[in-house]
Amino acid sequence: MICKGKWNKHLCTLVMILGAASFLFGLLTFLIVKPETSSMNTLMGMFTGFGAGIMGVAIWQTIRAKVVSKEKLEQEEIEKWDERNIAIIRASATAAYYAAILLIAILIFVFMGLGYRVPSYICLGGMYVLVGVFFVARKVLEKKM
């Protein structure tokens, strides 16, 4: 969703700074501190990759804003907020919600079957948070409609 938001010059600069900070943190921590566990190595790689990814998106959006005409950007903005497109996005988000609940429930049973209690409890907590957010958002949207 970061690619679909409304981008302006200041947001691109902020995202590039955050991406550079994440990238440098992951890279420098890996090179200087040299974590001894493989999970810390993986975490530093994730910081580095995440930072590079969001920097790439910000750079792409900055270049695109300079190259594409203002009329085309305005037309894309109008199409994005069209009622039909909003209904499609909401329907696909609902389908993704149910798929996520099903996947988390399967993971809970798999982790318990393998004897990993802590990851299964974390998944269960995540599932409860996901369901809670769904119902709170539903109540808020019902009041607005």
pLDDT tens column, 27-77? 999 899 888 888 888 999 999 999 999 999 999 988 988 898 888 888 887
Q: Give the number of domains in the chain.
A: 2
Mean pLDDT of the chain: 89
Q: What is the pTM of this model?
A: 0.62
Query: What is the pLDDT averaged over residues 13-33?
Result: 93
Query: What domain range includes position 141?
Result: 82-145
The yes-or-no verdict on residue 116 having pLDDT over 90 is: yes
Task: Using the structure block, give the residue that is written with the tokens 């409609």.
Answer: 145
Residues 6 and 64 in one domain: yes
Of residues 97, 89, 24, 84, the one with CA closest to residue 54: 24
Is there a single domain that holds both residue 62 and residue 106?
Answer: no
Helix or strand (DSSP H, E) at 32: none
Instruction: Report the pLDDT averaged over residues 128-143.
Output: 92
Residues 93 and 138 in one domain: yes
